[in-house]
Chain A
Amino acid sequence: MRNTTPSTARARAWASFRSEWLSTNTLMGYAFVLPLVLWLAATILYPLLKSIQLSVLNIKFIGTPGEYVGLDNYQRALTSPYFRAALQNSAIWVVGNAVVQTVLAFAAALILKQQFVGNRIARIWIILSWVVPTVVVVIIWRWLLSASGGIVNYSLQSLGIIDQPVGFFSTGNTAFISVILINSWRWFPFNAVILLAALQRIPAELYEAASVDGANVLQKFRFITLPSLQPVLFVMGLIGTLLSFNVFDVIWLLTGGGPSRATTTLPVLIYDTAFKKYRLSQAAAMSVLTGIILLIFAALFIRFMSPASDSDER
């Protein structure tokens, strides 16, 4: 037996470090995850840093060299009415989609939760509108809403609601409402399927016990369903908002951001600036600003909406 000297303590620390960090499991773990992490670093982290570099230059066409212009692009974006309008449109877009999709998804999930013939098949095929390519969704709705031969215009006319076929994408407000509804049609079944899975995990005993105590439907919803769904609603709120913010193709292919920029959200503005107006560095600055805005949103959302927040638990 020897006394514990600093050197043996260090040796022991090293041994435990080695056994933990250099054990086969650790090495193997990292070796298995590494390919994906490297891939993501090269295709997300590197471009992200690159966009900061691009944003302080004055590149217009891609491939042409640019000079250092400092924060000019940022200043221009922040003072541009287009950027502010797009930010506002994005906010309306995200909120509008969240409201419509949440209502539709809840309704669909509650329907699918019931027992009826074919409910197993319905629970799978409901996400059809989400799995088909967006370009198909766009063609479907352009066709249904078409002013010549479109079924929606024809039905509304037959019912006497309108006299003349309506161009749904020809005025700012109707265009915005139409794209929100179409995007919600594409996404609500996805949310419904996730909500359904969460609803099915709530133990039936909870509801039975509440019934015994004389709780009504609303009370059950308020005190059992809603709290049980908190974690899922939190994730859906955060990730759903980011995914919905990112939507570009539905808007671009239905309205091109018009009429007169009414449906130009930030993704549309970035795309348009970089690849239609050929102001690459300007678009890079907008991307960085957008990233910062989303980061702030995510931080606030996590801070105030976390299911285990202080106000709820204590």
Chain B
Amino acid sequence: MLYRVRRNLPLALSVLALMVVILAPFYWIFTSSVKEPQEIIARRPTLFPQSFTFEHYDKLLYHSPFPTYLRNSLIVAIGTMIITVVLATLAAYGLYRLRFPGRQMLFRIILITYAFPGVLLLVPMYDMMSRLGLVDRLTALVIVDVTLAAPFAVWMLQAFFRTIPQELEEAAALDGATRLGIIVRILLPLAAPGVAAIAIFAFITSWTEYLFSSILIVSEANRTVPVGLAGIIGQYQVDWGLLLAGATATALPVLVLFGLVGRNFVEGLTAGAVR
């Protein structure tokens, strides 16, 4: 017994250390966001909140532009999600289920665009959007975010599309199913976990995007959450209560989505990488 404990102690301690490194910072902002202002900036930080208040959330939701940011971010993220899922699923079907010359080359080109540093596109993208009259429009952000999300989404789908046996398609074709019918009735349901994973990936990519949003959006009314929150950070007197509540509220939708399909997400992530 003692032997077992001694053997497992290093493992238990390292697991604990890993969890603390990742989770403790989150615990710290969640709990701090419900503390009274004077407790937040107290010289001696409190591990467990001594006071409890929703005033920062009240201020965030009713007396700040945060709800506007939230709405804008939601519109952009959902738009990005829909377009990415359609483009990436179509491409994945073509690349992974059909055999045709040039397939490998197309696959490589899409991979290269994933590793392509977006910052190199910053200046010409602004120029392009201003010519198209899309500066300060949420549409511009959807266009950029799809470009950022779609290549990796195609990569993630690989694992899910490759595991579906070709015989299923052939059998359905013999039964007289059309190609569209095969895709919609057989492939999509079987690849559903993968499609869910890339939908979440696209949502998160868009939800996080700061670089392009900060230059393409000009007016307060069209700001997304990252740009809006960054604006609050930059203010002369930092309102920590408000910022911590904002950070918590921003992380929350991601946590919920991740909780729903986190397993598929990680599966897609790793299966693509260690093929």
Residues of A within 8 A of B (CB): 20-21, 23, 25-26, 28-33, 35-37, 39-40, 43-44, 46-48, 50-51, 54, 62-63, 107-108, 111-112, 114, 116, 122-129, 131-136, 138-144, 146, 148-151, 154, 185, 189-190, 193-194, 196-198, 201, 232, 235-236, 238-239, 242-243, 245-246, 248-249, 253, 266-267, 270-271, 274-275, 280, 283-284, 287, 290-291, 294
Bound Cα distance from A280 to B109, whole angstroms: 29
Residues of A within 8 A of B177 (CB): none
CB distance from A268 to the nearest CB of B (A): 9
Contacts known (A33-B91, A35-B90); A142 close to B100, Cβ less than 8 A: no
* A122 engages B28 (CB within 8 Å): no
Bound Cα distance from A40 to B148, whole angstroms: 9
Known: A33-B94, A36-B154, A47-B121. 4 other contacts (CB 8 A): A29-B99, A140-B28, A149-B43, A243-B115
Chain A proximity mask over B24-37: 1 for CB below 8 Å, otherwise 0: 01101100100000
User: Of A20, A33, A236, A283, which is in contact with the most chain B CB atoms at under 10 Å from its CB?
Assistant: A33
Stretch of B49-57, B163-171, B264-272 contacting A (4+ beta carbons < 8 Å) = B264-272
Bound Cα distance from A245 to B154, whole angstroms: 23
17 A-B pairs with C-beta separation under 8 A: A33-B91, A37-B106, A39-B150, A43-B144, A44-B113, A44-B116, A123-B266, A128-B255, A132-B251, A135-B208, A154-B44, A194-B270, A242-B116, A246-B117, A248-B119, A249-B210, A267-B119
* B254 engages A131 (CB within 8 Å): yes
* B87 engages A126 (CB within 8 Å): no
Residues of A within 8 A of B208 (CB): 132-135
Residues of B within 8 A of A (CB): 11-12, 14-15, 18-19, 21-23, 25-26, 28-29, 32, 40-45, 86-88, 90-91, 93-95, 98-103, 106, 109-110, 113-128, 130, 143-144, 146-147, 150-151, 154, 179, 204, 207-208, 210-211, 215, 225-226, 229-230, 233, 240, 243-244, 246-247, 250-251, 254-255, 258, 262-263, 265-266, 269-271, 273-274
CB distance from A204 to the nearest CB of B (A): 16
* B88 engages A134 (CB within 8 Å): no
CB distance from A41 to the nearest CB of B (A): 9
Contacts known (A25-B100, A51-B123, A116-B11); A139 close to B94, Cβ less than 8 A: no
Partner of A133 from B29, B102, B207, B211 at Cβ < 8 Å: B207
* B120 engages A287 (CB within 8 Å): yes
CB distance from A10 to the nearest CB of B (A): 20
10 A-B pairs with the lowest CB-CB distances in the bound complex, closest first? A32-B94, A197-B270, A47-B124, A29-B100, A246-B117, A50-B124, A133-B208, A267-B119, A51-B124, A26-B100
Residues of B within 8 A of A287 (CB): 119-124
Partner of A242 from B106, B115, B143 at Cβ < 8 Å: B115
* A253 engages B233 (CB within 8 Å): yes
Contacts known (A116-B11, A136-B247, A143-B32); A245 close to B110, Cβ less than 8 A: no
Residues of B within 8 A of A40 (CB): 109-110, 113, 147, 150-151
* B88 engages A36 (CB within 8 Å): yes
Contacts known (A54-B127, A270-B122); A232 close to B274, Cβ less than 8 A: yes
